[in-house]
Amino acid sequence: MDSERRIQFDFDERKATEAAAYILERAGGRLDIYPLIKLLYLAERESLRRYHAPIFGDVYVSLPKGPIVQIVYDLTKDDATFLEFEPQYWPYHIERSGYRVTLKQPIERKTLSRADIDVLDFIMERYGHEPGPRLMQITEALPEWQNPGASRIPILTEDLLARLGASQAQRERIRIDTESFRHMVSTLNQE
Give residue limits of the domains in the chain. 3-190
Task: Decide: 161 and 7 in contact? Cβ < 8 Å.
Answer: yes
pLDDT of 5 over the 60 cut: yes
Q: Which pLDDT belongs to residue 116?
A: 97
CB within 8 Å of 9: residues ≥ 6 apart: 53, 54, 57, 58, 157, 178
Starting at the edge strand found earlier in the chain, the sheet holding 94-97 runs 30-32, 100-103, 94-97
Q: Which pLDDT belongs to residue 191?
A: 65
- Cα 135 from Cα 140, distance rounded (Å): 8
Q: Which pLDDT belongs to residue 78?
A: 64
- Cα 39 from Cα 119, distance rounded (Å): 11
Least confident among 5-14, 81-90, 116-125, 150-159 = 81-90
pLDDT-derived band at 185, boundaries 50, 70, 90: low
CB within 8 Å of 14: residues ≥ 6 apart: 88, 89, 110, 111
Q: Which pLDDT belongs to residue 85?
A: 83
Q: Which pLDDT belongs to residue 84?
A: 79
- Cα 187 from Cα 112, distance rounded (Å): 24
Structure letter (DSSP) for residue 52: S
Q: Which pLDDT belongs to residue 129?
A: 95
CB within 8 Å of 176: residues ≥ 6 apart: none
Q: Which pLDDT belongs to residue 170?
A: 93
User: Which pLDDT tens digit goes with each residue over 16-50?
Assistant: 999 999 999 999 999 999 999 999 999 999 999 99
Q: Which helix (H) or strand (E) holds 69?
A: strand 66-69
Q: Which residues of 12-42 are buried (b: 16+ CB within 10 A; e: fewer)?
A: bbebbbbbbbbbbebbeeebbbbbbbbbbbb
Task: Decide: 48 and 162 in contact? Cβ < 8 Å.
Answer: no
Q: Which pLDDT belongs to residue 87?
A: 86
Q: Which residue has the higher pLDDT, 58 or 182?
A: 58
Q: Which pLDDT belongs to residue 22?
A: 97
User: Which pLDDT tens digit goes with each residue over 68-110?
Assistant: 999 999 999 866 666 778 888 999 999 999 999 999 988 899 9
Q: Which pLDDT belongs to residue 86?
A: 85
pLDDT of 163 over the 90 cut: yes
